[in-house]
Amino acid sequence: MGEGVALLEEEVRELIRRRGLDPERDDAGVRGLIAAAVADYEERSLLGLVPRLDDLDLTTKSLHDVISGLGPLQQYLEDPEIEEVWINEPGKVFVARSGRAELTNTILTEIAIRDLVERMLRSSGRRLDLSNPFVDASLPGGERLHAVIPDVTRRHWAINIRKYVVRAKRVADLVALGSLTAEAAAFLEAAVVSGLNILVSGATQAGKTTMVNALAGAIPSNEHVITCEEVFELQLAARDVVAMQCRQANLEGTGEIPLRRLVKEALRMRPDRLIIGEVREAEALDLLIALNAGIPGMCTIHANSAREAVVKMTTLPLLAGENVSDRFVVPTVAAAVDLVVHLDLDSQGHRRVQEVVGLSGRAEDGVIEIAPLFERRETHLTRAGGFPPHEERFTRAGFRLRELLAAG
């Protein structure tokens, strides 16, 4: 930063303090003040009273980024091709562009990183300290922040900012992106309309949230949709939707609202459709109970294949307590989960549907029977030989299931 820019930044900050502006809420006021300050500074520089500025437009933007945005990181948040930003240490700032990692030339200081995190957490009401060294929070722009501090990390603060780039509002958008075929998309859209329960699986950054968001675009407009997430990420286009997120404990260690609590509360809100951002622990039991009660739903889960996703759904509920046994969980998963859509991120950064399987509802010796519906052979998603459950639901919704699958 040049001498002139540093001097001008100090002047702008002083003007903001005097006028009582809130940079996070009054963006128009801050922009107007910066424009006026830059113009006044330019007049003084022509008289030789202050150092000259090299580029007025660049100075105006950098001042806005520093005061109202996230400083050097703001450029990455505004770049539509960048999906995630992470900081391993002050001299190592990385971005993910189209699924591939890049080391940037941005260099920060320890103090700058701490100031940025403090600014990001200000609007979320969440905290980060020695007693609570991890934090998950939503930023005002919809990005998801995750931060970890020493001594959990070896030396430096570790920061991840995941942008949720809305590339697909409906399943048809995924066809345009090359994630799946038109035939598979037509089947999945019909499955959502028919009220089948869908589990979306895949690795980190495979596009699970995007898939759920696209599938939710097929939910009928007359349905009341409830979403439960650890941190807000879903951006549904549904007309009637209530979104809820978890809450951390306060300084006294009380007030925490875990995902299990959200799922239980959602059942009291007359949902026609329930969407869980991701199941990782015992909340899988509450999800199963909801789905088994006749409420159509969707959720995501980390897994390496559709089969592993089903197995994981049979083990996570066991974390809910010793009184929960696999004799209850396995048949409940077989009956409650109808479809698994598994996604993958290849070495080139392409996100694609690898397989779609159906659960027949039958289980033998603790193993749930699955039927492959679509599977990727080499580079193309093709129709497999299996059939999904609940053909009568498709019929009631006005779809001819066998014709849909025959088209694949």
pLDDT in tens, 313-337: 999 999 998 899 999 999 999 999 9
pLDDT at 408 over 60: no
DSSP string, 146-210: EEE-TTTSSSS-EEEEE------SSHHHHHHTTSS-HHHHHHHHHHHHTT--EEEEESTTSSHHH
Q: Is the omega angle on the peptide bond into residue 26 within 30 degrees of 0, that is, cis?
A: no
What is the CATH code for 74-162? 3.30.450.90
pLDDT at 202 over 80: yes
Check if the beta carbon of residue 11 is closer than 8 Å to that of residue 54.
Answer: no
The pLDDT mean for the chain works out to 90
Q: Of 285, 286, 291, whose CA–CA distance to 325 is shortest?
A: 285
DSSP state of 53: P
What's 253-283 look like in SS3? CCCCECHHHHHHHHCCCCCCEEEECCCCCCH
Report the C-alpha gap between 88 and 158 in whole angstroms: 5
**Which element (helix H / strand E) includes 372?**
strand 367-377
For domain 171-407, give the fold: Rossmann fold (3.40.50)
Check if the beta carbon of residue 86 is closer than 8 Å to that of residue 94.
Answer: yes
**Which element (helix H / strand E) includes 229?**
strand 225-229
Indicate the domain borders of the chain.
3-68, 74-162, 171-407
**Tokens of residue 230, six digits:** 């650890």
pLDDT at 53: 83
pLDDT at 166 over 80: no
